[in-house]
Structures are given as structure tokens and as C-alpha cells.
Structure 1
Amino acid sequence: MDDENGDPNASWWIEGSGRLDGAVIAVAGAAGPAGRATLLRLAEAGATVVGSDADPARLAEAVDAARYAHGGATVTGDTVDLLDLDATRVWAEKTEKEFGRIDGLVHLVGGWRGSATFADTDLADWDLLEKLLIRTVQHTSLAFHDGLLRSDRGRYLLISAAGASKPTAGNAAYAASKAAAEAWTLALGDAFRKAGGDEGPRSAAAILVIKALVHDAMRAERPNAKFAGFTDVTDLAEAIAGVWDRPAQDVNGKRLWLTPES
């Protein structure tokens, strides 16, 4: 697959079989465009996929699309309030109990708020983004930690933005939220490293870094837009599946760039 950004750092995810037969992978934020693409790709790879979202109607559509695109694939959906730690733990425990294992959590919960200038920043944006971009990461990582450790190929994947390491004046709340979520995920990676001892980690927490995402509906709405440096949701889904092709120690605690590193 060609990397539309022309980024040599993105070549890490091209190689590998991309097969995930027998794996059980949860996808948080499964009803959006990136979630839909990820459900489709993981189902195609042979994984059992369990999606969650706060919108039951959109989640049902996403699950049905993945299930019907790949006949025989096991794709299910649960409406989960990821701002409720207890509810998130119940989802993790239910998933592992029903399918016997849990091999991954892909965190696609997103949101954006910004301002024209730094001085115009509305701290209400921070209040919202702290919940969407940080609290949900805290809850999913804590809820799935033990199950991922029990797996022989557990992966926790956070999708982040280049702006987290190079914030701009109008994106203070967003960049700070993303940076905090990255730090939390790297701490999870350190926990996996320590649990692996001298043999190295069996499970991994990694961050996939993009500039922004683009999908077909966006292109249809803005046919003349270039979307320079954006990552297509199908390419993101391919990259997500590719993380399981690499040994845990190669990706654990790493930022994996799908856009030129800043």
C-alpha cells in the first residue's frame, strides 16, 4: 500500500501478513469513520471484533456493515459509557468472558475544539476534551490492563495527533489533552515492560500518530481540497492491523508515525 504522505517513517506497517485469526479485539469509538474502517479491516483479518460507542444506532450500522462485508466474521457491538469506569470494566470483563481472551483495545474516541488565538481559548473546551481524550483513555487502559497481560499478543493502541508534540496557539486544549493521553499510554507501556521482566514485554501499548484523518465523505463535501498530509481512515485501519505483526518489544512504548515526524 502506498503511503499518501510520502513519509519514510511510515514504512513500519507495510510488511507482514496482517492476519489476526483467533484474536479478540475491542474497538472503542467504533461508530465513526475511523471506527468503521477499523472494524472492517480487523474482521477481514480474521479477528473477532467487539466495538463500543455511545451512539447505539450508529454503532449498529457500523457493526452490520463489517459483519456483512465479511460473511462469517464475528463482529459485535456494545453501547458503553466510557466515562464510567465501572461500566468500562464490565465491558472488558464481559468481552473476555464471552470470547475467552482479549488481545487488543483500539482507542478511537476523539473530538476537537479550538480557537482563533491562544487568548481566545475557552476553558469549556478543555472540560470537554479532558473527558473525551483523557478520561476515556484512563478508563479503557485500566479496564483492559489485566486481560491484555493475559494475552500472548495483547496490544493497546491509541490514535494521537502530531499536534500533541508541536502545539499551536489555537489548539492549546486539544494538544494538551492529546499529550496527556499519550503520556498515560506510555505509562501503560512501562507497566507492560515491567511485567515482562527479563524476557521483555508480551503485551504492548503503542501510539499511532497522524496529522488528521480523511475519508470519502469529506472528499465528497470538499472535492477541491488537497487534505495534504492527512491519513485516510482505510490506511489507518491497515496500520492498526499491522501492529500485531510486530513483536511487542518493537512497538511497546513507541510513537508510530503515519505522518512526517515533528
Structure 2
Amino acid sequence: MTDTTTRRGYEGNGGGSLHGKVVAVAGAAGPAGQATLLRLAEEGATVVACDADAGRLAQAVDAARFAHGGATVTGDTVDLLDLEETRAWAAKTEKEYGRVDGLVHLVGGWRGSASFAETDLADWDTLHNLLIRTLQHTSLAFEGPLKRAGDGRFLLVSAVGASKPTAGNAAYSASKAAAEAWTLALADAFRKAGGEGPPPAAAVILVVKALVHDQMRADRPNAKFAGFTDVADLAKDIAGTWNKPADELNGTRLWLTPDH
């Protein structure tokens, strides 16, 4: 498989209805997850959210339900560091709704240092679990359901640092690079599953410099956040991936930042 890169001219138009789609969101309680639940619900998808933080997850699910009356938005507390628990979540979702059309992987975290020499290798252990192990588990758990649904999407949000690491972000950048490589391997599995035809699903990497949300702006009113992607814009682009054919998207990086 050839890894292709789609530059920032790509935009999900957000106008395509996701009615009838069932989309799972891993790491749904954070700002990006909350924005994604809102957007997917607005587009008519059945949204199945999970997070390890039951309280914040409940708030995110309730907010999406309230904003879009009639939308089906559910939440499950899942330990994504447990492969069998993650598989059980995928199986439960497919059994309950008859299909899974998407998995949006939003589990994040950051650790860094002032210089390369000051890197704390404990940060690698933490980021390995947050950014790599959880992704391994969701991809292994949802590969089958996404292929069976047809036109499925496995979406990873990554960072510019994966391909342009800086001295103080060695552990973070290496973790993101590993997550990207794992996702591209999943894309190759989808390609092979399609045989001579199009893949039954697409694994896609959405690349940002960093994310910004309203609370960050309120906390730092003088900050410019240059090149940052608003979580609402990220959510729009996530929903928009269903507006392009799987064979055009599978194995690509979608750049959502001008600075790369």
C-alpha cells in the first residue's frame, strides 16, 4: 500500500447526513470528544461513546442529547487498556445496533520536557498506554465490525509532531508516529480485504498542530493559538470523511493545519 497525503485543502462539508450510521467514539469525554458527539448527533448518526471517566462521559452524552433532541447518544465506561473489555464493547455495540460504521479514536495525552536531555522515560510509558495501546485495542476490536458494515471509517487524530518531532517532545512524537504506523497497517488490512474492489472501510489519520476549545481561549485571552484546530472544526472534518469514497481516504493523512 502506498501512503498518500491529503493536504489541508480537504474539508468535510458537514452537510452529508449520517442518518442510519452507527459511530463509536473512544475517549469521548474530553473537549474534542464532546464536540464530536455534538456534530455526529447533529448529522443524524447513532453515537456510542466511551471513556474511562464515567462522570465526564455522562455530561458529554447528556449535552449531545440535549442539543439534538431525538438523537440516539449512549455512553459506556470502558477501560481501553483492557483488550477483552474493548472487544466486548465493540461486540455489544454491533449486536445492539446491527452494525458499526465508524470508530473515532480520540484518546489523548501529552508529556514533554524542556530539552531532549531532560526527557523522562516514564513519560514514554504513560504515552505508550494512552496513545498506542488504546489504539491497538480499538483497532483490533473494531476491524471486523467496520468491514462487515461496509464503507466504515476508523479515524485517528494525530499531530504534526509525529513527522516533525522536536527535542522536548521525543516521547510524545514517537508515540504519535507509532500510532500513525499502526493505523496505516490497519488501512492495508482494509485494502487487502477489498481484493480487486474498493476496501470495505477506510483507516484515516487526521493531523493537527494542536487543538483549541472555548475554555482554553477563556483561560488565555491573549494567546493567539496560531495554527491550532478548533475542536468544532475537527468534529466537522470527522463527520465529513463519510462524504468521500473509502478507497480515496484509506491510508491517507488529512492535514487540518496550515503549519506543516
The match for 1:35 is 33
1:1-262 matches, cutoff 5 A: 9-15=7-13, 17-260=15-258, 262=260
CA RMSD between the two structures: 1.1
SS of match in other structure, 1:197: coil
Letter in structure 1 aligned against 2:117:
A
Task: Write the letter of the residue equivalent to 2:177.
Answer: A
Segments ≥4 residues shifted beyond 6 Å:
none
Matched residues in 2 for 1:65 and 1:176: separation? 34
Gap runs ≥5 in structure 2? 1-5
| Shift, 1:71, TM fit | 0.3
- Percent identity, aligned pairs only, is 74
- Aligned partners of 2:15, 2:231: CA distance in 1, in Å? 20
Q: Which amino acid letter does the alignment assign opposite residue 120 of structure 2?
A: D
Instruction: Report if aligned partners of 2:13, 2:237 keep a CA contact under 8 Å in 1.
Output: no
Measure how far apart 1:16 and its partner are: 6.2
- Which whole-Å deviations, capped at 9, do the CAs of 1:63-91 have from their partners, x for residues lacking one? 00000100000000000000000000000
The Cα shift of 1:261 comes to: 6.0
Instruction: Judge conservation of contact 2:207–2:255 (CA < 8 Å) in 1.
Output: yes
Secondary structure of 1:11's aligned partner: coil
* d(CA) in 2 for partners of 1:182, 1:237: 19
Task: Give the partner amino acid of 1:188.
Answer: L
Residue identity matched to 2:47: V
- What secondary structure does 1:64 align onto? helix
Contact 1:9–1:261 (Cα < 8 Å) also in 2: no
- Offset of residue 45 of structure 1: 0.2
Tell me by how many angstroms 1:152 deviates. Answer: 1.8
2:145 counterpart letter in structure 1 = G
Unaligned 5+ segments in structure 1 are 1-7
| Deviation of 1:165 (Å) | 0.1
State the Cα deviation string for residues 16-50 of structure 1 (Å, max 9, x = none): 63310000000000000000000000000000000
Flag the 1:112–1:250 CA change in 2: closer, same or farther, 3 A: same
Aligned to 2:158, the other structure's residue is in SS state strand
Assess, with a 3 A threshold, how the Cα gap between structure 1 residues 16 and 41 changes in structure 2: closer, same or farther.
Answer: closer
The 8 Å contact of residues 44 and 70 in structure 1, kept in 2 or not, is answered as yes
Q: In structure 1, what is the Cα distance between the partners aligned to 2:19 and 2:67? A: 17
Q: Which residue of 1 aligns with 2:3?
A: none
Distance in 2, matches of 1:136 and 1:260, equals 28
Per the alignment, do residues 233 and 69 of structure 1 end up closer, same or farther by CA in structure 2, a change over 3 Å counting? same
SS at match of 1:118: coil
| In 2: Cα distance, 1:261 partner to 1:150 partner | 37
Q: Secondary structure at the match of 1:27?
A: strand
Q: Does the residue aligned with 2:247 lie in a helix, a strand or coil?
A: helix
Amino acid at match of 1:109: V
